[in-house]
A and B are shown apart, each in its own frame.
Chain A
Amino acid sequence: MNFRKYLFILIPYSWLVALFLVPFIIVVKMSLSDGVMAIPPYTPYLTLTEGWAGITNFFTNLDFENFIFLTEDNLYWIAYLSSLKIAAISTVITLLVGYPIAYGMANASNEWRPTLIMLVILPFWTSFLIRIYSWMGILSQEGFLNQFLLWLGIIDQPLTLLNTNIAVYIGIVYTYLPFMILPIYASLEKLDLSLLEAAKDLGCNRTQSFWLVTVPLSKAGIIAGCFLVFIPVIGEFVIPSLLGGADTLMIGTILWQEFFANRDWPVASAVAVILLLILMVPIILFQRSEQKQREAE
């Protein structure tokens, strides 16, 4: 009996070890080595064939200079902070846009709900890259949005949207909106309607009962949605590089530059390790809130 239980646990854990822990250890190892022009472009290179000498040699050659290097140039901190800022702002916008949609879906009649969920999920059927590419077409100077606004007479000069931070925000909010809507919808759908009736009986008007009953009860959904948006957006690379301008500084693009332009795999790995550490903070907070939620239930 016990054996079977462990076997069941073993499968997911071995996945975690193979797909997360092992790659992470490789990245950490790389971040502690030196860059050279060779194949692969870093050293020391752990050679097990040399036996114990190889291992001691490997450890004596390790140093933290790549991490020290990151503290010497403020570019990296500015890029981390800028990524955090972009992630925070887009999370708030996504929440403001996503909550009303989720609320509307949860309050729709039963026959409409599957269709509405379908409409939220539908964009996933098209490649993410193609959807971002179409935003390039929509936001460009000669693009659909400018043409439409010109036609309406709202503007008389085409707006510069593409290659600005505004375009990055639009792209991020568009892409991550379903990740906000679905968890909020899931928590709103479970909402016990009799609680709202009780609030009404106790003298709440609709606005008051929304803020005092609906929002607190959907808190778990809001938190889950915010983390599902915030965490991946920090490391986002595709959206800023396609829609952003040269002044859109995100850690994903810095990482690309270290890896490809400088061929400095060790520094690139150091940037990635620190990014992971930064991400651990919200992830731990997320788990705490999940745990509290479970304890409350």
Chain B
Amino acid sequence: MNKIIVSLIATLMVSTSVAQAGEVRVYNWSDYIDESLIKKFEQETGDKLIYDVFDTNELLETKLLAGGSGYDVVVPSASFLQRQINIGVFQKLDYAKLSNASNLWSIIKDHTNKYDPDNAYSINYMWGTTGIGINVDKVKEVLGDDAPVNSLALIFDPKNMKKLAACGVHLLDAPAEMIPAALKYIGEDPDSKDLEVIAKVEPIFAAIRPYVTKFHSSEYVNALANGDICVAFGYSGDILQSRDRAAEADNGVKVTYNIASEGAVMWFDQMAIPADAPNPEGAHKFLNFMLDANNMATASNYVYYANGNLASQKLLEKEVLEDEGIYPTDATLNNLFTTTAYGSKVQRKVTRMWTKIKSGT
């Protein structure tokens, strides 16, 4: 939330000032790039890069729907991108200006086709999974050595949560991530848009609610690394960044990321150019810059998310490419599923249910 406010203020300032030629404005997720790439882009192109961050799809979408966001490149998740394309938020990409597009990985292109046919409006920046981050020692201390650390039962079984409450649990404050996981846990279709099916997760959450420390979509990165919490259900790369922060701090906290054996949401963050971008030329330059195998590898090596750039894979650090939490094995990959956005009516019911789950009202 704090990041939301900071970025709100920052972007208010951006949108009020008039865009100048030679300026490229990028709006991306927080903690999602190696900052050295910003300087590198400026040196290579001579354009000034203004880089702002957000931490929820909702914040980005509200800006895009308000119109005149002033950004040249934005990075929504594919499920949100899909409906945004439908209402004309984005402009078609000019592949003639994207000479590095041949680096794209066909497997990821196939997946994102579902949201953006032929990738006409967007190209993949990074992709990942939503799974379980744990503070290994604390969880074992609380639940014993046979703790179900790679099962959704760790967070959806009240018996486990009751014990974990003592050391702290964060869940994402994102119904679009949490509800599919709970549906998967009870064996329903995780992408269901049927309100009766969705309603089945309410008692699941009600049972574990008393033991949840906080619902938040970014605080767990620090909280897990500091040892403030012992379990977080969150985004793969965030938890892996948390693992590294703990290792750097050398504070005795050991974090691991597990993709639930029941299956996990696979999501894609897509770079796209708003229809009213002040500098589409510069936006294409930025996209092509990020399509460069070297640059994409630098970004992935830094943020620990897999990317959709096949050529970058041979430049990735071994610990990134071979980490099954980042590039899952084929067996795990087959077990992953994708979700699509809720329609307006279902969305309202889902938000209402989520408020009830969180606050009891």
The prevalent SS among residues of A at the interface is loop
Distance from A266 Cβ to chain B, minimum over Cβ atoms (Å): 12
Partner of B228, one of A133, A142, A242: A142
Knowing A37-B87, A129-B2, A163-B214 touch, does A263 contact B61 (C-beta < 8 A)?
A: yes
B360 within 8 A of A: yes
Q: Which residue of B lies closest to A267 (CB)?
A: B348
A192 within 8 A of B: no
A154 within 8 A of B: no
Distance from A205 Cβ to chain B, minimum over Cβ atoms (Å): 50
Contact at A242–B360, with CB atoms within 8 Å? no
- Complex contacts, B354 vs chain A, CB 8 Å: 261
Within A37-67, which residues are at the interface with B (CB < 8 Å)?
Answer: 37-41
Partner of A40, one of B67, B348, B359: B67
Partner of B359, one of A73, A241, A247, A260: A247
Distance from A144 Cβ to chain B, minimum over Cβ atoms (Å): 13
Knowing A37-B83, A261-B351 touch, does A141 contact B1 (C-beta < 8 A)?
A: no
A166 within 8 A of B: no
Partner of B355, one of A41, A75, A140, A241: A75
Contact at A40–B214, with CB atoms within 8 Å? no
Contact at B214–A245, with CB atoms within 8 Å? yes
Cα of A85 to Cα of B36 in the assembled complex, Å: 48
Partner of B226, one of A38, A78, A142, A260: A142
Within B274-290, which residues are at the interface with A (CB < 8 Å)?
Answer: none
A35 within 8 A of B: yes
- Complex contacts, B228 vs chain A, CB 8 Å: 140-142
Cα of A215 to Cα of B140 in the assembled complex, Å: 59
Q: Which residue of B lies closest to A42 (CB)?
A: B65
Within A81-133, which residues are at the interface with B (CB < 8 Å)?
Answer: 129, 133
- Complex contacts, A261 vs chain B, CB 8 Å: 58, 175, 347, 351, 354
- Complex contacts, A41 vs chain B, CB 8 Å: 65
Distance from B32 Cβ to chain A, minimum over Cβ atoms (Å): 19
B352 within 8 A of A: yes
B334 within 8 A of A: no
Contact at B1–A246, with CB atoms within 8 Å? no
Knowing A140-B228, A163-B213, A246-B215 touch, does A263 contact B355 (C-beta < 8 A)?
A: no
Partner of B352, one of A75, A129, A238: A75
B96 within 8 A of A: no
Among B59, B62, B352, the most chain A Cβ lie within 10 Å of the Cβ of B62
Among B59, B347, B355, B356, the most chain A Cβ lie within 10 Å of the Cβ of B355
- Complex contacts, A291 vs chain B, CB 8 Å: none
Contact at A73–B65, with CB atoms within 8 Å? no
Within B126-154, which residues are at the interface with A (CB < 8 Å)?
Answer: none
Cα of A211 to Cα of B222 in the assembled complex, Å: 50
B91 within 8 A of A: no
Contact at B62–A259, with CB atoms within 8 Å? yes
B361 within 8 A of A: yes
Cα of A261 to Cα of B358 in the assembled complex, Å: 14
B308 within 8 A of A: no
Contact at B5–A238, with CB atoms within 8 Å? yes
- Complex contacts, A254 vs chain B, CB 8 Å: 355
Cα of A134 to Cα of B86 in the assembled complex, Å: 43
B6 within 8 A of A: yes
Contact at B351–A37, with CB atoms within 8 Å? no
B227 within 8 A of A: yes
On chain B, the number of residues with a Cβ less than 8 Å from chain A's Cβ atoms is 40
Contact with A along B169-181 (1 / 0, CB 8 A): 0000001000000
Partner of B227, one of A142, A245, A249, A260: A142
A71 within 8 A of B: no
Distance from B214 Cβ to chain A, minimum over Cβ atoms (Å): 5
Contact at A78–B355, with CB atoms within 8 Å? no
Contact at A38–B62, with CB atoms within 8 Å? no
Contact with A along B196-230 (1 / 0, CB 8 A): 00000000000001001111000000000011100
Cα of A37 to Cα of B351 in the assembled complex, Å: 17
Cα of A154 to Cα of B11 in the assembled complex, Å: 46
Contact at A37–B344, with CB atoms within 8 Å? yes
Knowing A133-B2, A141-B228, A249-B359 touch, does A39 contact B67 (C-beta < 8 A)?
A: yes
Q: Which residue of B lies closest to A128 (CB)?
A: B5
Contact at A246–B214, with CB atoms within 8 Å? yes
Distance from B82 Cβ to chain A, minimum over Cβ atoms (Å): 11
A293 within 8 A of B: no
Distance from B252 Cβ to chain A, minimum over Cβ atoms (Å): 12
Contact at A257–B5, with CB atoms within 8 Å? no
A14 within 8 A of B: no
Contact at A257–B351, with CB atoms within 8 Å? yes
Knowing A129-B6, A140-B228, A249-B361 touch, does A260 contact B65 (C-beta < 8 A)?
A: no
- Complex contacts, B227 vs chain A, CB 8 Å: 142
Cα of A35 to Cα of B83 in the assembled complex, Å: 15
Cα of A252 to Cα of B53 in the assembled complex, Å: 22
Within B37-86, which residues are at the interface with A (CB < 8 Å)?
Answer: 56, 58-59, 61-62, 64-67, 83, 86
Knowing A37-B87, A257-B351 touch, does A129 contact B360 (C-beta < 8 A)?
A: no
- Complex contacts, A141 vs chain B, CB 8 Å: 168, 228
Partner of B361, one of A37, A75, A129, A263: A75
Partner of A246, one of B56, B65, B212, B226: B212
Distance from A261 Cβ to chain B, minimum over Cβ atoms (Å): 5
Cα of A276 to Cα of B65 in the assembled complex, Å: 25
Contact at A246–B344, with CB atoms within 8 Å? no
Q: List 5 A-B contacts (CB under 8 A).
A: A37-B83, A38-B87, A39-B89, A242-B2, A264-B344
Q: A40-B65, A245-B214, A260-B59 are in contact. List 12 more A-B contacts (CB 8 A).
A: A39-B88, A40-B67, A74-B361, A75-B356, A163-B213, A242-B2, A246-B214, A246-B358, A247-B360, A260-B56, A260-B62, A264-B348
